[in-house]
């Protein structure tokens, strides 16, 4: 019998009022820095709305071409570049 796994909505925010462009890259989009655009709200927050299956995902924001960790992230893990990736657990 096939098991159907539903997607869960996840929202990630980054406060970067001076940024001109923000994208989101991670294991959910094969670290593609152009695939997941983030929309700017009037309060200076950039918001990404994702539909993800339950699991563990690593991610970073890309702000005007610079990789940036999510300051509200509760868990990080080392990456191959000597820095940290944020971790998102979807249940």
Position 5 pLDDT exceeds 80 = no
In a domain, 3, yes or no: no
pTM above 0.85, yes or no: yes
Cα 14 to Cα 38, 54, 80, distances in angstroms = 9, 22, 24
Which CATH number belongs to the domain containing residue 17 in this structure?
2.60.40.10
Tally of domains within the chain: 1
CA distance 54 to 56: 7
- The domain in which residue 45 lies consists of 8-90
| Residue 13 falls inside a structural domain | yes
Q: Is 27 helix (H, G, I), strand (E, B) or coil?
A: helix
Q: Which residues pair with 23 in a beta bridge?
A: 37, 62
pLDDT tens sequence across 18-31? 999 999 999 999 99
- Concatenating the DSSP letter of every residue in 15-32 gives E-TT-S-EEEEEGGGTT-
Task: Give domain status of residue 1, yes or no.
Answer: no
pLDDT above 80 (res 91) = yes
Report pLDDT for 3.
Answer: 66
Residue 2 in any domain: the answer is: no
| Rounded-to-integer distance, Cα 67 and Cα 72, Å | 15
């Amino acid at each position: 019998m096939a098991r159907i796994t539903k997607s869960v909505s996840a929202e990630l925010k980054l406060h970067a009022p001076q940024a001109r462009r923000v994208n989101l890259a991670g294991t959910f989009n094969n670290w593609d820095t152009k695939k997941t655009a983030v929309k700017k709200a009037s309060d200076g927050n950039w918001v990404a709305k994702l539909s993800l299956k339950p699991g563990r995902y690593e991610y970073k924001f890309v702000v005007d071409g610079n990789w940036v960790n999510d300051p509200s992230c509760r868990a990080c893990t080392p990456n191959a570049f000597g820095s940290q990736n944020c971790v998102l657990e979807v249940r």
